Amino acid sequence: MTLANKTIVVTGCCSGIGSDFAKLARLQGARVIGVDRNDPTLTLDGFVKIDLGNPAAIDAAIGQLPDHIDAVANIAGVPGTAPVDLVGQVNYLGLRHFTQRMLERMTAGGAIVNVSSILGAEWPARLEQHRALGATTGFAEGAQWLRDHPVPQETCYQYFKEALIVWTFTQSQKVFLERGVRMNCVAPGPVFTPILGDFVAMLGEERVQKDAHRMKRPAFSDEVAPVIAFLCDDASRWISGVNLPVDGGLASTYL
């Protein structure tokens, strides 16, 4: 597996999974352009500072990105302890808007990898809601839909990860058939990253202790990064429209 000579845009490149994936991609020979709201803390081939919760900021920054992009890794996100509006803007609406703009610069053979979560596994229970949100056109219309259909703070992280999975599923084949670009999700379980503590606070100590016996430990971010690399690589050229768990088997214990 190699990413040699590919130009890859990585959101959330400054920490956690995004940082480890950016390093791995460069090691494999890719040209990596980082995107983050914070200043870079690692070596990159280019960097664009963007607030992914602001569509105007995304549009203003698009011209700073390469004209041709081979892959996009959407890794940036905020935890469910953030205000619900911000979670929806960054983890769903902004990601969707950014991806749609990136598709304009991608040709056949390209790949998009969205980082979802094991916490998005209950998407079938709200499938029609997520379809309706996914059918909105543009950031503003999506934001209005969410104002009309408020999401509870306590479950907002799960809700928008579910919505991301459904959007990826429903858009992937259209994008693959029309443009030859594959779109997939990677669904980590708990990961040792700077925001792991936020997830513990979000889920509550009771839930965390209940799940603790189901897994060996949280993942290291460098155990998730190679899976993202695989889905960006030509070796996965016939994989499209999947949500791939990377959770040490945690999801299997709920069957």
163-201 pLDDT per residue, tens: 999 999 999 999 999 999 999 999 999 998 876 676 677
Distance CA 156, CA 153 (A): 5
Q: List phi, psi (to 5°) of 247.
A: -140, 15
Tokens of 49: 């500072």
Question: What contacts 245, CB < 8 A, 6 or more positions away?
Answer: 118, 187, 189, 251
Fold of 7-189+224-245: Rossmann fold (3.40.50)
Angle, helices 127-134 vs 156-179, to 10°: value is 60
pLDDT in tens, 4-14: 999 999 999 99
Which pLDDT belongs to residue 198?
Answer: 67
Question: Domain ranges in the chain?
Answer: 7-189+224-245
Which pLDDT belongs to residue 195?
Answer: 66
Helices (H), 63-204: 84-88, 95-103, 127-134, 139-148, 156-179, 196-203
Q: Which residues are catalytic?
A: 157
DSSP string across 56-85? HHHHHHGGGS-S--SEEEE-----TTS-HH
Q: Using 50, 70 and 90 to split pLDDT, how confident is the model at 234?
A: very high
Dihedral angle, C-alpha 36, 248, 167, 112, nearest 10 ° = 50
Entry pTM? 0.94
Q: Using 50, 70 and 90 to split pLDDT, how confident is the model at 203?
A: low
The answer to whether residues 118 and 187 touch, using CB atoms and an 8 Å cutoff, is yes
